[in-house]
Amino acid sequence: MIDKAASYMKEGNSVACEKICGVNDNMINAHYHDFFEIYYLDKGERNHVIYNKLYNIKAGELVIFAPYVMHYSYGDIDIPFDRTVLYFRPNKIISKSLLENLKNGTGVYNLDDKLKEKIKDMLALILNEQKNINKYNKEYMSLLLNQLLIEIVRHVENPIKAEKKERFSEVITYLHEHYQEDIKLDDIAKNFFISSYYLCREFKKYTNTTIITYLNTIRIMYAQRKLIETKLAITDISQQSGFSNVTHFNRVFKKITGFSPSEYRKYTLARY
């Protein structure tokens, strides 16, 4: 499944929207963005794994992802679904309190019928504006975005509880809590009283990636935040992100993001 909205964001857009009807379109690897995502399920059912928790999403429910939250989604075989995604950068949010609310708002939300219709209508307006370029197009999309966000924050409160934690959730939590340390595979296996072979096999089975790749992704994700939110030197960020030397850090960073750390900092700060 090609994510056109993500392509628009890579091209430099600050707001991008896309509606897709699909079947058997699954994300096989956890990923994250440096921007917000709102996911509205119009029809069908989907499973979303957010960090280490599993949610079963039903039609009419909405998901909010803050930047740098690892997640992926999948559905049952041959079950069609319609969904609309809306991506937007933090600098498009008009108030600090609204921004902070959304930063802390990652989760799945149930909506009443009135709010469902309102959100669907507003997403349709954003899609239409994106397709039909007019005067003050960006300004109008920004206005629609903030109106939508205010409606969501005003009317939804507590997120839905997760169905359950994903298997190996304790390992995932451990990686997020200890990514700054010199973690070795044998140390992780011993910590959970399992063999290294079993750990690698089962982790790959349930995440579709290796434990080292997942750990490096976490490290780069946190490094990206430090590059944007601090003025720390790249060598210091490398050490604080769990890399033993800056050369290895640069190589892994480029592989995952497509940028060197200095290129990423310059490119990203120019958009904020």
pLDDT tens digits in sequence order for the chain, 272 residues long: 567 888 889 888 999 999 988 766 766 678 899 999 999 999 999 988 898 888 999 999 999 999 999 998 888 777 788 999 999 999 999 999 999 999 999 999 999 999 999 999 999 999 999 998 888 988 999 999 999 999 999 998 788 887 766 667 889 889 999 999 999 999 999 999 999 999 999 888 878 789 999 999 999 999 999 998 899 999 999 999 999 999 999 999 999 999 999 999 988 777 66
Question: Degrees (nearest 5) of the Cα angle 116, 61, 108?
Answer: 130
Which contiguous run of DSSP H or E holds residue 21? Answer: strand 15-22
Hey, how many other C-beta atoms are within 10 angstroms of the C-beta on 135?
6
Cross-sheet strand order for the sheet of 164-165: 71-74, 45-50, 53-58, 164-165
Quick check: pTM over 0.95? no
> Which DSSP letter does residue 31 get?
B
Q: With 0-12 CB in 10 A as exposed, 13-18 as middle and 19+ as buried, what is 159?
A: middle
Output DSSP code: residue 145: H
Delineate the domains of the chain, giving CATH numbers in brackets: 4-155 (2.60.120.280), 167-271 (1.10.10.60)
